[in-house]
Structure 1
């Protein structure tokens, strides 16, 4: 299952907290295929049926089934630039 670094956890919580969503909101990662290398990311009100849910210190990430398979052995990290732009990166465990 995907894991999050401390930085990614902080960034995900910050992004989700800024969006007017429900208490069950999180960041959803969607892949087009089980071997996807490019992903779509969006803040959503909650998990969709079939999503895997990763929780880390209050941060919620929802993985649609293709993303869950592709990211099973990965670690999500994040970086915030001086201008406030967020970049996510994936590494293998």
Structure 2
């Protein structure tokens, strides 16, 4: 299942609050063309077949194909140098870290 870092959860919470989404709204991740990448958008409610991840006041809706693609991934936020030289924060998908066996 997709893991969400605390930093990403804070960013999602901020985005959904700023967008004044209704209660239960969240970030939706879809894979309309998986080979083209993923599509992130804000949604007032999940789609009919979406997998819903929620906790700590944050909701993420995963379209079924996206849920499959992201099953072993982690959603994070990373600073990126913007075109204007300013630092921007962007969502990033990475592999989940596995705990080394003792």
Same fold by TM-score greater than 0.5: yes
For the pair shown, which has the larger CA radius of gyration, 1 or 2?
2
1:14 match: secondary structure: helix
Q: Which sections of structure 1, spanning at least 5 residues, go unmatched? A: none
Question: 1:16·1:27 contact (CA, 8 Å) conserved in 2?
Answer: yes
1:90 match: secondary structure: strand
Matches within 5 A, 1:1-93: 1-33=1-33, 36=35, 38-80=37-79, 85-93=88-96
Count of matched residue pairs = 92
CA distance in 1, matches of 2:77, 2:6: 9
CA distance in 2, matches of 1:79, 1:15: 15
Larger relative contact order, structure 1 or 2 (CA cutoff 8 Å, min sep 6): 1
Q: Which sections of structure 2, spanning at least 5 residues, go unmatched? A: 97-102
CA distance in 2, matches of 1:16, 1:86: 16
